[in-house]
Structure 1
């Protein structure tokens, strides 16, 4: 009787483990199915089901369809509330990742590739400390300045309230006399209508895709890049067979860059569409880039020092990789 009972318990344990490994709950911060971010995640889900011959199935839920705050996605993955996710707001859980988002540090695609490669082992370790396995990611186009007032240079930020998505973006706005305000994306349209904010830092293919009707001006100053991490619960990932782990990693490594490429292409399309709809797009003023870089460089060093030796080492690694 004892042997039967133990066997039954063992069988139950195996069945639960297999079910958890085979049937995953996925989540993305984005609530709009037509964005490149969601399209990329859907491709991952579809490919995983096919290439594992149905051994791993992921049901993807869009943002706001589960009771998970955008800022809590990485924690929800680590806690096993969901097994798999794309997280744009991961820096609250893994703040060292914000090195990649420091304003004026990374200014082009080549620098991004070198910097993200330098940060990869640091981020792998940081996510692992949250019981999360980092599989890959994608990035948005450069974040520029969309406003309700006309801008011809960075000096025109002075005295205006700008929505930001990180303290580092906030420091940029403050450096030019503006007032940074943090708001959830769902609150942006109402805040613009009521004058609570007068602008946002985003991409044409990002927030401006949804909010362009409230934002008649775009000053094409590249403040920084925003990126999303594609992550899995470590216990769930390790419960997969080695074969399925390899398949999932391979698919994410291919679809992450593809999503980035689609965002870059969509940026051109959306920028033209917004211009056709009446948005005034002002090109970068000569001298603004050099002036902003000189003003923000000391902030990188202060930011890293205030956060501790690990941050200083991470910043040092990135700067060495991009030659700054």
Structure 2
């Protein structure tokens, strides 16, 4: 009887072990690294952490995403596409303007004075999404996730200005090719430096101004240096969440479905965060002594007339994809 019980115990133990292994295989966990070029305490980083927590909860812990912020990994904003494509990280944030070296044909929403409001951006992003996804898949085997926008891009200067003509002769930090051409057309000198270098450069006066959003300017405490915000709302700041295609393909279908659902769910949350914090940032910048200048209608008309030809030049330079994207964006943005 003892031998029987001992044998039965062994069989039961083996069966339990097999069951545990089968259960573990069925509930396989995936651990991904996500790089965001935003600093640790910036609002987009806070939201991305919340996104990762939501995904982990929705998948019952089967997909865990660890967030790494600026300075925690040896990448810069311009490195994100390649870092995700080569699986150094499985996910990443990219500003399409920063990635113009890798995907210049996707930079349509950086055309100056094309889409200049949250509403226009959301409509345009929906129009161009299928083409954007196809390009990222074909060129890099990357899945395009959430597409959202930073607030309007404006000029922040360490001096007082009151009109567009006063940009002539100034050195302005730009962060994509279209901004470079815009500043040249306005008579200024474009300068390329990283986000972390902007405030020191403004303080040392090696640059006179920088293009960024009120949200970023406020996060950088630019009000300690900046005198003027020239609120021209030249472009929105197109952002994308990227996923390595091979790693995405390894996920079970149910987790893939959950993740795609979260992309759709969180896009509006990122845009709402961006819009809400833009208003708070503008108020705080003004309260801290930054003069927020609204350009005159004449200045806006002058800028539009000077810069709209850039759209067509850009489309010609970027072939069929460029033309497709510009036509799609112009359905909902730009002059009537």
Counterpart residue number, 1:76? 83
Q: Which runs of 4+ in 1 moved over 6 A?
A: none
After superposition, residues 1-324 of structure 1 pair within 5 angstroms as 22-33=30-41, 35-88=42-95, 89-128=98-137, 129-210=139-220, 211-322=222-333, 324=335
The CA RMSD over aligned residues, in Å, is: 1.8
Q: CA deviation at 1:323?
A: 6.4
CA displacement at 1:82 relative to structure 2: 0.5
Deviation at 1:60, TM superposition (A): 0.9
How far does the alpha carbon of each residue in 1:8-53 deviate from its partner, in whole angstroms, 9 at most, with x for none?
Answer: xxxxxxx99x97x7111111111232x2211121111101111100
Moved more, 207-216 or 166-175: 207-216
| CA–CA distance in structure 1, aligned partners of residues 236 and 43 of structure 2 | 16
* Cα deviation digits, residues 223-273 of structure 1 (max 9, x gap): 111121011100111111111111111222222221221121111111111
Structure 2 alignment gaps of length 5 or more:
1-23
Q: Deviations over 1:112-163 (max 9, x none)?
A: 1221112111110111121110012221111111101212111110100000
Q: Within 2, Cα distance between the matches of 1:227 and 1:206?
A: 14
* Aligned counterpart, 2:6: none
CA contact (8 A) 1:90 1:229 kept: no
Q: Return the TM-score normalized by structure 2.
A: 0.87
Structure number, greater radius of gyration: 2
| Structure 1: gaps (5+ residues) | 1-14
**Preserved contact between residue 181 and residue 197 of structure 1 (Cα < 8 Å):** yes
1:217 deviation in Å?
1.0
Distance 1:161 1:173 in 2: 9
Aligned residues: 307
SS at match of 2:297: coil
